[in-house]
Structure 1
Amino acid sequence: MTAHSEKGPSSSSRWINCTPSAKLCADFPNVGSSFAQEGTDAHELCEYLLKKELGQDVKDPTEDLTYYNQEMQEHCEDYRDYVMELVAKAKQNTKDVVVMVEQQIQYERFVKGGFGTADCIIIADGVLNVVDFKYGMGVEVKAEGNTQMQIYALGALEIFDVLYDIDTVQMTIFQPRLSNISTATMSRDDLYKWAEEVLKPAAEEADAGTGEFHTGDWCRFCRAKHVCRERAKKNLELASYEFASPPLLSDEEITEILSKVDSLISWANDVKEYALQEAVDGKKWTGFKLVEGRSVRKYTNEDEVAKAANLAGYDPYDKKIKSITELTKEMGKKKFEEILGKLVVKPQGKPVLVREDDKRPALNTAKEDFKI
């Protein structure tokens, strides 16, 4: 199992922006999830595929991966191919290109006890490339201003800056399930400046448990998010609006609500989940009780059900055509397009209201469609 630093790269957005959270989170257990394990499995497969492509003798881990499937295989192969393209490009300028896979990095000079593991580092004269694989599909991750990527790059510089003439750092997020490849660049000098002026002071405050609590996107993976008073304060401020009827609110108020409502819903669900788990463990909440939820009937043994139904003269099976995903996996992408591509159509999705920085193009409203 990979060790994690309390002030590690993956949680850096939180402890840099909300420095007291570092000590606060240390008092809460790091509870895993099926999504986290799925991501871990995908990273192991990426490591294997990339090292194998680089000519290293490695063991195929697929038999031991809980969430391995054909979709994961294809996405990890896409990651491998992308990295190898970067390697080929680097070799055009530098003969002795170094490729480090799952490389341990340290940034002790700026953060006490700071260490982490970078998915892939490509070192060559001029440009240092850092690539991070994200298998999640809940949130699109951007490379620009990404503190995790900047720390990975910083750790790589700490090792290789004296050996190579590096002046530019390129950081890439490869997130295949959202078709997201996000890249940002910054100069070596600007990265070290950020480390001295932002990273180091924040780490010192985090170690001391000082600074102020601040809410933001970084709350999403905070271990204390369900009981954090600052998060509750910010969300209760929004909840104080009288939601009697939207037309009674001004456009400005509705815009403010739209910008924060997802955070409010997420916070409320976090509190409910925390209260439920505490109740399961025996805690009594005044005015609430633990009851059995609704459940759906299910068969104890499907094979026995099929036999019994057949004997009684009934067909127990509901035959239907396989889904596009299932047939694509069975045939392969190329063969699927060749045989069935002309028979597949993608209907227009229902309108969704999102932030302006969303990558999807804006829809014309019905009113605008009739404009001449």
Structure 2
Amino acid sequence: MPDVHAKLSPSSSHRWLNCTKSFDLIESAKVPEQTAGLAAEEGTLAHAVLENLMKQALGKVSAAEFKAERKRLAEEAEKLLGRPAISEMEQFASGQVEFILDILRDDPTALVLIEQRVWVSEQCFGTADAIVISGDTMYVVDYKYGVGLPVSAVENSQLLLYGAGALRIWELVYDIQTVELHIFQPRLRSHSEYVVTADELRSWVDTKVLPAIDEINSSTGSFCPSDKICQWCPAKAVCSARANAMWGFLLQEGMLTDD
């Protein structure tokens, strides 16, 4: 899988799109990004299992190549989790595989791209788990292996950015009118979807994404603290805007006094 990281990654876009000053704070405070824990390592491994299954289903690898990669992944999974887990991971991944194969059954000419790098700008790029184009519809499919809260595809900025990046490339070849976003989170039995038109997606990039990137690059952004925006921010412990917002909330609720 690609290991080059974007300055403005789609996965953290809910923060930087809405709190454009947070990037300056993270850099000035020299706050390291959060290190990957066991759940993140397990998720990376689960994505590799999904990718291997998809390549087999699409005939992109030989039987010998599939088995060799499966053996390697099985060993990694057992080492990481302390138990055999490859069959369970494959079972969880099968729903997304079947979803894509169903599109192909309806349209054998559909284009299927796995682990596709897409760019919105020089600083904003990422790797989509799957991009599928059938007729005038482009599907952006994302796999979440977590067992926390279900992740909604509705107005999901990470998937919207993947879709916008893919649209920049493939609208030159296909007459894409509709973009469907899909998030599979099989361990929570969740499949969320959201549909936008290609025009709506382009407008969102022009009115929301590019202005936010300009603010970040020119250091003219603003803070916008909230529970959701601050949740995964590595600088939240040293953010005065967040502290002031929390203080104001406690005063408003009568939990503190300003004496």
**Contact 1:137/1:177 (8 A) holds in 2:** yes
Give the match for residue 44 of structure 2: 40
Q: 1:139 to 1:227 in 2, by over 3 A?
A: farther
Residue 18 of structure 2 is matched in structure 1 by: 17
Letter in 2 for 1:98: L
> How far apart are residue 47 of structure 1 and its match?
0.8
Question: 1:83, 1:236 → 2: CA distance?
Answer: 48
* Contact kept? 2:177, 2:198, Cα under 8 Å: yes
State whether residues 22 and 207 of structure 1, in contact with CA within 8 Å, keep that contact through their aligned partners in structure 2: no
| CA distance in 2 between partners of 1:81 and 1:145 (Å) | 24
State TM-score, norm by structure 2.
0.85
Aligned length: 237
Aligned residue in 2 for 1:199:
209
1:76 aligns with 2:88: no
Match of 1:49, as an amino acid?
L
Question: Structure 1: how far apart are the matches of 2:189 and 2:115?
Answer: 23
Mapped partners of 1:164, 1:194: distance in 2: 20
Match of 2:74 among 28, 46, 62: 62
The answer on 1:87 being equivalent to 2:88 is no
Give the distance between the partners of 2:245 and 2:150, measured in 1 at CA. Answer: 24
Matched, 1:146 2:156: yes
Q: Would you tell me which structure has more strand in proportion to its own residues? A: 2
TM-score, length-scaled by structure 1: 0.60
Verify the 8 A CA contact 1:6 1:22 in the aligned structure 2. Answer: no
Could you say which residue in structure 1 is the equivalent of 2:220? 210
Aligned to 2:32: 29
1:160 has 2:177 as partner: no
1:271-310 maps to which residues of 2 (within 5 A)? none
Equivalent pair of 2:118/2:162 in contact (CA under 8 Å):
yes
**Matching residue of 1:170:** 180
SS of alignment partner, residue 131 of structure 1: strand
Q: Which protein is bigger by CA-based radius of gyration? A: 1
Alpha-carbon distance between aligned partners in 1 of 2:104 and 2:209, rounded to the nearest angstrom: 29
CA distance in 1, matches of 2:25, 2:50: 33
* Distance in 1 between residues matched to 2:141 and 2:26, nearest whole Å: 28
User: Secondary structure at 1:166's aligned position in 2?
Assistant: coil
> Percent of counterpart pairs with the same letter?
35
Shift in Å, 1:13:
0.9
* Cα deviation digits, residues 258-301 of structure 1 (max 9, x gap): xxxxxxxxxxxxxxxxxxxxxxxxxxxxxxxxxxxxxxxxxxxx
Give the unaligned 5+ runs of structure 2. none
- Look up the match of 2:7: 6
Q: Give the Å deviation of 1:136.
A: 1.2
Amino acid corresponding to residue 10 of structure 1 in structure 2: S
Equivalent residue runs for 1:322-337 within 5 Å: none
* Bigger RCO (CA 8 Å, 6+ sep): 2
